[in-house]
Structure formats: structure tokens, C-alpha cells
Amino acid sequence: MVSNSGNKPRVLSGIQPSGNLTIGNYLGALKQWVEVQRQFDCFYCVVDLHAITVAQNPDELRQKTRESAAMYIAAGLDPEVSTIFVQSHIAAHSELAWMLTCMAPLGWLHRMTQFKDKSAKQSQESIGAGLLNYPSLMAADILLYHADLVPVGDDQNQHLEFTRDLAQRFNHAYGETFTLPSVMNPEAGARIMGLDNPTAKMSKSEDSENHAVFLLDDLAAARRKIMRAVTDSHREIRFSSERERAGVNNLLTIYQAITDESSADIEAHFADKGYGDLKRAVADCVVSTLEPLQARYYELMNEKGYLDSVLKLGREKAGAIAEATLKRAQENMGFLAPS
């Protein structure tokens, strides 16, 4: 029997420290991480090894890694409850990723839509191999901790399937080693779309000015971006999967992800209102989410040594588990143990 030995199911997730975090990251991931942290045994990492699948400036990567960790805490993760750590601080992630890379069929990797999307934007000859192998590293992150549940936006579901398939393949070839994880998508807000282009997921690395609200945006700027969000020429305010109505649907989704109200209540609330009212209501709730989060964030970044101590503790707690799993996987695969 391989599994996490505690009695609470274990959760693991991570966000890349590339670019600044957006309300899409908050509503699609962080908010749910916070909500489940007392119910489950939670591990949250800053996935810097994933960030280097595209070139990063070294100083910026270092800075963004610290900022992301601080943002996890500012969003409400309690370092005494959740284990917060940096992926590259635990060598086992890279080591297991290699072993899994060797077991990952190229066919599976080529089928990943995230790879297809990202590689379509570059010339085939110059795409880094890391972009293709990205899912094997993600599988290592998850399998090292015997995670039962992985909270991610639904764009990551295919990577979770890949992780399960790969774990099964390893278990089958070398004996029971890994726990098969299940995906956990947030109910509302799994997918916050770009404000300027509501048919594409909100991205932290998109350049255009009115695309994303960043968690550290000045509150007036955040409000302005929402007021400028793309809508349509209809009048009715309701949830819709029609492409044409994606802008209004996105605003409603943001509103719902923040307020946790039912779709029916929200539609009733906006029944006799216009798009301007909707935008103001969304801006209000976004601003009241950002305000306390930013205050806590700046406090944390100024508390010298605190963040480092959180990451040191996280590294110790996560490292012990990861190393034990890696050792077992290495033994099962046939590596000679050092004497």
C-alpha cells in the first residue's frame, strides 16, 4: 500500500513564478487552496523549474519566486497549516522528473494541448525540450508527495490525466510506487478569461494593457481595466457559453468566484441592471479582495527573514517526504543504493 501515511487526504499544487500573479491565478487557484487548507494536508510550491521551460532573466526569476511565495501567504495560506516551498529547493523533483521523462511516450507528450499551443508560437527547431517534457516534471511534483487531490484550473486536467497514466505505467513496470491523484477543479472561476479578449484564458504573460488585473495592480488601475472590459451589444446579463457573450460571462464568473453566490441569485440581482452596473459591481468586489491582500503582501515583503524562515521550514517538511518517495522509486527502478 503506497499512500500518504497521515489521515487527511493530501493536496499538492503549484504556480509558476513567471510574470505577476493575476486575479485569474487567485480565483482559479489560490482562493481554493486557502479554502481547503484545514480540511486536507496541503503542500503548495512555487514551480520555478517549470518557469525555465521558457527563458527567464535570473534576477527576475529569483525576485518573482520570493514574490509568489509571499503572495501565497498574503492570499491566506497559513504557513503553520500548509507547507509552502520552492520546487527547486528539493532536488528530488528534478531527479524523479528525469526518471519519469524516460517513461513518458513521446506520443503522449505531443498530444498535450498546452504544448501544442505554446509550441505553435515558436519555430519547431528552437522550441526548448523542457516545454515538451513539462508534464513529466509536473507528474514528479505530484507523485513525490502521494498527493490524493490536485487543485488546478481545468486547462491542467490533461496534465493530471497524463500524471495518472504515467504513475500507472511506472507501478505496472516496477511495482506499486505511486498514488494515483485526482483532479480538483474550482466550481466557479476555474477559468477567468482575458478582459480584452474573453475567449482566451487570462494570462500573466500577456502584454496588452487591459488584458489582466494583477494582484498588485494599483486599485484605480484594477477598476479601470474592469470598466474597459470587452462586452457585447446585447443587454441581458446572464451566464452564457456563447462565444459572442464571453465577455459578460467572464465578468459574471469573476463576480461569482468572489461572492460565491449561485448563478440564479446573481442573474436575479442583475436582472434590471445594465453593463455599467455589472462592471461597477465586479470592480467593487475585485477591489475589496485586492486591498487587504496587498496590505498583507507588503507587510510580508518588509518583514525581513520571515519569508525565508517559512520557505526553510517548507523545504524541510516537503523534502523529507519527497526524498523517501524518490528513494523508493529509485530502488524499484533498479538503481544501486549508495553504501
Q: Which residues make up the interface to ligand TRP (CB under 6 A)?
A: 12-14, 16, 47, 50, 138, 141-142, 150, 152, 156, 159
Shortest CB 272 distance to ligand TRP, Å: 39
* Nearest distance, CB of residue 47 and ligand TRP, angstroms: 4
Beta carbon of residue 14, minimum distance to ligand TRP (angstroms, whole number): 4
Alpha carbon separation from 280 to 35, 219, 270, 273 (Å, rounded):
26, 13, 12, 11
Taking the least distance from each CB to ligand TRP, the nearer of 12 and 266 is: 12
C-alpha closest to that of 255 among 220, 204, 208, 289: 289
Is 201 part of the annotated catalytic residue set? yes
Active-site entry in 31, 64, 121, 204? 204
Q: Is 118 annotated as catalytic?
A: yes
Residues whose CB falls within 8 Å of the CB of residue 191, separated by 6 or more in sequence, listed in order: 24, 28, 153, 154, 155, 201, 253
Long-range contacts of the stretch 30-34 (C-beta < 8 A, 24+): 30/71, 30/72, 30/75, 30/76, 30/77, 31/75, 31/76, 31/186, 31/189, 31/257, 32/151, 32/184, 32/186, 33/72, 33/75, 33/77, 33/82, 33/151, 34/75, 34/76, 34/77
Nearest residue (CB) to ligand TRP, 17 versus 247: 17
**Comparison of 160 and 266: residue with beta carbon closer to ligand TRP:** 160
Q: Which is nearer to ligand TRP, 86 or 283 (CB)?
A: 86
- In whole angstroms, how close is the CB of 204 to ligand TRP at the nearest point? 10
The minimum distance between CB 53 and ligand TRP, in angstroms, equals 10
Nearer to ligand TRP, 132 or 138 (CB): 138
Q: Annotated catalytic, 8?
A: no
What residues act catalytically? 118, 201, 204
